[in-house]
């Protein structure tokens, strides 16, 4: 019997190994469309505009008192904008009025945010400038109007520790609901390295979650109790407190800078948060 050159049968005991010449191929390399998407997904200029596009339109927006829609007040920084994008890109929370009080990361959502240990000395002029920045004191009257108050920020550790006391001193009514969204971080984003990797390799990447983010979320998990509800978005998205994937299922970057979401990342995270947390039951 003639054996074809392209096929070799090697049998030892009950194990048969078949090698077929020309059939084996190396792992698929990313396509040209992936590379184009990666360039766009990693652009700080393009995605930075996206981060703020929606939240800028609702900053300090007054609630319509004649509307029967419930009122959500979102309090936070650029990570709060990420949260808003994750909801609105999936058309969630459409039946609510939504307003935002934007408090920069440097200033933090604390009652004495214009000074003291919560704000670095170099940032105090910024945080004291009411024309440029917001604060919980400025938002006090609108907080009273809201049915749901959502805190979503890039938290500092000392701010996270006192957040239960901050919420307590807002003197909210029993019918008002408070939701605290935890910190997130995706580690270093390295587009040039990703260009050389195969699709399976890209899907397998898991970056370390910043140790500070881990500490902050641990504090919030422990201290946000009672009437306030904590959403651990890192655990929900990553399935872990310490490691996180950085690509969506269809190989789009989730974050463009390690902190903020791409449009694809916002849509991806939003679906997870809405399906796996209280947000889907509001």
CATH number at residue 127: 3.40.50.1110
Residue 278 CB coordination number (10 Å):
13
Rounded CA-CA distance 213/228 in Å is: 20
Is the pLDDT assigned to residue 160 strictly greater than 50? yes
Examine residue 115 and state whether it is found in any structural domain, yes or no: yes
Examine residue 266 and state whether it is found in any structural domain, yes or no: yes
Range with the lowest mean pLDDT among 16-20, 95-99, 144-148, 238-242? 16-20
Enter the pTM of the model. 0.88
Closest CA to 251 of 73, 32, 79: 32
Examine residue 6 and state whether it is found in any structural domain, yes or no: no
Q: What is the DSSP letter of 225?
A: -
Q: How would residue 115 be classed by pLDDT, with cut points 50, 70 and 90?
A: low
Q: How would residue 27 be classed by pLDDT, with cut points 50, 70 and 90?
A: low
If one counts the domains in the chain, the total is 1
Examine residue 35 and state whether it is found in any structural domain, yes or no: yes
Examine residue 150 and state whether it is found in any structural domain, yes or no: yes
Domain residues for the domain of 99 are 30-281
Examine residue 23 and state whether it is found in any structural domain, yes or no: no
Examine residue 241 and state whether it is found in any structural domain, yes or no: yes
Examine residue 22 and state whether it is found in any structural domain, yes or no: no
């Amino acid at each position: 019997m003639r054996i074809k050159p392209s096929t070799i049968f090697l049998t030892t005991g009950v194990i048969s190994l078949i090698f077929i010449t020309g059939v084996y191929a190396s792992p698929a390399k990313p396509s040209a469309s992936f590379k184009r998407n990666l360039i766009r997904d990693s652009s700080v200029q393009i995605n930075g505009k996206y981060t703020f596009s929606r939240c800028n339109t609702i900053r300090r927006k007054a609630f319509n008192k004649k509307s029967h829609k419930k009122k959500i007040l979102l309090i936070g920084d650029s990570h709060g904008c990420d949260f808003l994008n994750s909801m609105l890109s999936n058309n969630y929370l459409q039946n609510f009025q939504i307003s935002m009080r934007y408090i920069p990361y440097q200033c933090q959502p604390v009652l004495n945010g214009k000074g003291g240990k919560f704000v670095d000395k170099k940032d105090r002029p910024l945080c004291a400038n009411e024309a440029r920045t917001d604060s919980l004191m400025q938002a006090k009257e609108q907080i009273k109007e809201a049915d749901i108050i959502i805190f979503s920020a890039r938290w500092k550790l000392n701010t996270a520790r006192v957040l239960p006391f901050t919420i307590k001193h807002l003197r909210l009514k029993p019918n008002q609901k408070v939701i605290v969204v935890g910190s997130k971080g995706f580690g270093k984003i390295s587009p040039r390295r990703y260009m050389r990797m195969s699709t399976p390799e890209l899907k397998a990447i898991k970056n370390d979650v910043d140790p500070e983010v881990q500490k902050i979320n641990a504090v919030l998990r422990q201290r946000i109790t009672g009437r306030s509800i904590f959403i651990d978005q890192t655990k929900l998205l990553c399935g872990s407190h310490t490691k996180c994937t950085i690509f969506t299922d269809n190989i789009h970057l989730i974050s463009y800078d390690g902190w903020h979401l791409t449009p694809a990342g916002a849509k991806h995270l939003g679906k997870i948060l809405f399906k796996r947390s209280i947000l889907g039951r509001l």
